[in-house]
Chains A and B, each alone.
Chain A
């Protein structure tokens, strides 16, 4: 009973903060709403007996990824946000597509039949603790994907460095900065650098 109440609380908070995250105007508020959402996701992972993933969710998602988002939001000037053209002309069409997708997926959901059970029952996982089980699987069965994930992280690190590095075509940039330092937009520029 307590578990179900906890699930309902987490589900309500997740849906509410998710809807707020995509509908609020201020991007910083959006990121903070997603932070709330990630904490409740970690709570749901705890009800699913996955403590390691709950910790990873909080440390990696809430601690690293969202802080990265916040830093980029502070780097990019909030007044002139980065806008690109939306993929579809009207927002109501997008909402309609999303609602239709949700209804279609919910409609096909009861026809799901689980397959054969694996070897890690809840009792076995509880006996060995979740982290040990994850470590054993990760370093034996999924060793190659694990290494590839490390390589992906390295590529992401290098890519982020190369993309976000400042261009150093020295003279032109310097004169540009010198010229623009006289005008009113300097302050936001210096903040964003």
Chain B
């Protein structure tokens, strides 16, 4: 039998790794990825608690968190693509100006 505190400690570590990645990396996509790590830490906590407290509520929450994470990934990556597109068009403009 695995004690509950092991799961919670692992969830804390995972969440902190996500926070560290979100604060230190500058690449937008890696920042979204660290956000996913944080959400996974929370998910692990919820599932472990729902197992040890004989309730399905935490697992239902986990289900909804996975839904929201998928939505967040879709929107965030759409924003990343449009950001990339706008920057690249700026890049192309400056290239034309250099050519005269």
Contact = CB atoms under 8 A, between A and B. Distances in A.
Interface of A: 3-4, 7, 11, 14-15, 18-19, 21-22, 27, 30-31, 34, 37-38, 41, 44-45, 47-50, 52-53, 56-57, 60-61, 64-65, 68-69, 72-73, 75-77, 80-88, 91, 93-95, 97-99, 101-102, 105-106, 109-110, 112, 114-115, 117-122, 125, 133-134, 137-138, 141-142, 145, 149, 152-153, 155-157, 159-164, 166-167, 176, 179-180, 183, 185, 189, 192
B66 A88 contact: no
Contacts of A34: 33, 36-37
A93 B51 CA distance: 36
Interface residues of B, number: 78
A152 B66 CA distance: 12
A27 B84 CA distance: 15
B8 to A, nearest CB: 6
A120 B75 contact: no
Given A82-B28, A102-B16, A109-B8, A69 B95 contact: no
19 contacts: A30-B33, A34-B37, A41-B43, A48-B47, A50-B51, A53-B47, A53-B59, A65-B69, A69-B33, A76-B84, A80-B91, A94-B23, A95-B20, A98-B23, A117-B53, A149-B67, A155-B71, A159-B75, A164-B77
A109 B44 contact: no
Interface of B: 1-2, 4-10, 12-21, 23-30, 32-34, 36-37, 40, 43-44, 47-57, 59-60, 62-64, 66-75, 77-85, 87-89, 91-92, 95-96, 99
A73 B33 CA distance: 12
Given A47-B2, A48-B48, A119 B33 contact: no
Contacts of A98: 16-17, 19-20, 23
Q: Lowest 9 CB-CB distances: which A-B pairs, in order?
A: A118-B55, A22-B21, A94-B23, A163-B78, A156-B71, A98-B20, A102-B16, A94-B24, A160-B74
